[in-house]
Each structure stands twice: as C-alpha cells, then as structure tokens.
Amino acid sequence: MIFTRPRLSHAAFSMIEVMIALTVLAVAITAILGNYQVLNSARTDTAARGAVSEIGRAILDRITAGDLRALGAETPIGGVVAQPWSLVRSEDLPALRPPLTQNAADPADDLITQGLIPGPVPVEGLRVYIEYYRGLQVLDISTGAVLFSGVLDENYVARGDFRAAFANPGWRDARRLATNQAPIGQVAEDDPVVIRIVITWGFNQRLEFYTTKRRPPGA
C-alpha cells in the first residue's frame, strides 16, 4: 500500500511562501521607514537652517542700522539708544560674554527679551555670538601688498582671504576688541569695525554673517 501526502507537502510549501513574503515585507517596511527618517531629518535641518538664517539677518540688520556708538553700550550715549545686547560675545571666550540664547539664565541675554526674535523657534541648542574686530588692512611687510581687508559683498560674505583670516586664531586674537567696553572706544576715527555674527545649533551646525561699520570723524 502506497501512502502519499500531497496536503502536507502543500502545507509545508505554503509555510515557506509565507516566510518569504514576511521577509520581503519586513525589508520593504525597513526601507520605507529609513527613507522617512532621512526625509524627516532633512526637512527638520532645512527648517532650522532657515530659522537661523532669519535670526542672523535680523541681528545683522539691527547692527547695520544702528549707530556705532550704541553697539555694546550699557547706557545711552549722546542721545543714542544703547544696544547692550550687542556687547562682544566671543565664540572663543564664552565665559567672558555668554552667547545669546532663547533660554538664557539671565533674562537680559535672551533673544526674545531683547526683541531680536518674536518668539521661540524650533532650533535645538541655539547660540548666538557677536564679535567685534579691528578692520584695519593687514599688509605684507616686505611688499606692502594687502593680505586681508574688510571688504564684504552684498550678501555680507567676506571676499577673498578675509574669511580665511578669521580661521586663524592668531589673527582673531590680534584684532579682537575687548569684551568689557563698547567698540567705538577701541578704534580710531574713520577706522572700520568688523562685526562677525556666529550662530551655532544642533550638532556642529553653524552660520556666519559679516558686516562693517566705520567710526565717523568726531564721534
């Protein structure tokens, strides 16, 4: 007598099919979730960079429109409204001048309190540093050629080797203005002050903005 098991064979074959289908489905779901996470992260990063750019522009506009005598001043000078929020806040020396943030320990240092932004923005770890430097040209002693200058383009981006100069700690140390007094008291008449705004957030994300203001004669 011969025994056959067609149903058992068919059942075993169906189980293999189910396992293969589940494996394929799991791979597909993993790929979809991975793509979603990448897209969501990219969307978040884009939104954060846009918000940071707006903050940088707002601060830059305030500095550009303001009187040089007001920058870094604790009290009004000659009828000019003081801008204490723009005191030197060095990225290299944060202990001396803490950065501006949305959640500062000192309310006077808060971006919202100072009216620099209207309300909280979805940016993790936001820090704003405002730095002032002497904008005198740096010359090559042997040739007299200008190595670095304070020329900026219409987008407030330093041209040529000027940005590279800021990457040199020695250059920054030599040109940085003191953190305990207003910039106008540290430059000669008709000399420029170079202003760099550095905004950091998230994991090693940063944007930089540059502009210059010149001390007018008699100021």
Structure tokens at 76: 């009004």
pLDDT score recorded for residue 41: 64
pLDDT tens digit string along 87-117? 889 998 888 888 999 888 777 788 988 888 8
Residue 154 has pLDDT above 50, yes or no: no
Element (H, E) at 46: helix 6-65
Residue 136 has pLDDT above 70, yes or no: no
Q: Are strands 146-148 and 127-134 parallel, antiparallel or unpaired?
A: unpaired
* CB contact at 8 A, 198 and 91: yes
Residue 152 has pLDDT above 50, yes or no: no
pLDDT tens digit string along 49-79? 999 999 999 898 888 888 888 888 878 877 8
Residue with tokens 């149903």: 7
Residue with tokens 């007598």: 1
Residue 188 has pLDDT above 80, yes or no: no
pLDDT score recorded for residue 14: 72
* CB contact at 8 A, 66 and 83: yes
Q: What's the distance, Cα to Cα, between the start and end of the chain in Å?
A: 116
* CB contact at 8 A, 150 and 160: no
In the DSSP assignment, the letter for residue 98 is P
Q: How confident is the model at residue 191 (pLDDT cuts 50, 70, 90)?
A: confident
Closest-CA residue to 96 (of 204, 167, 191, 180) = 180
Give the mean pLDDT of the chain: 77
Distances in whole angstroms, Cα of residue 193 to Cα of each of 51, 105, 185, 210: 27, 29, 11, 11
pLDDT tens digit string along 35-55? 656 555 667 788 889 999 999
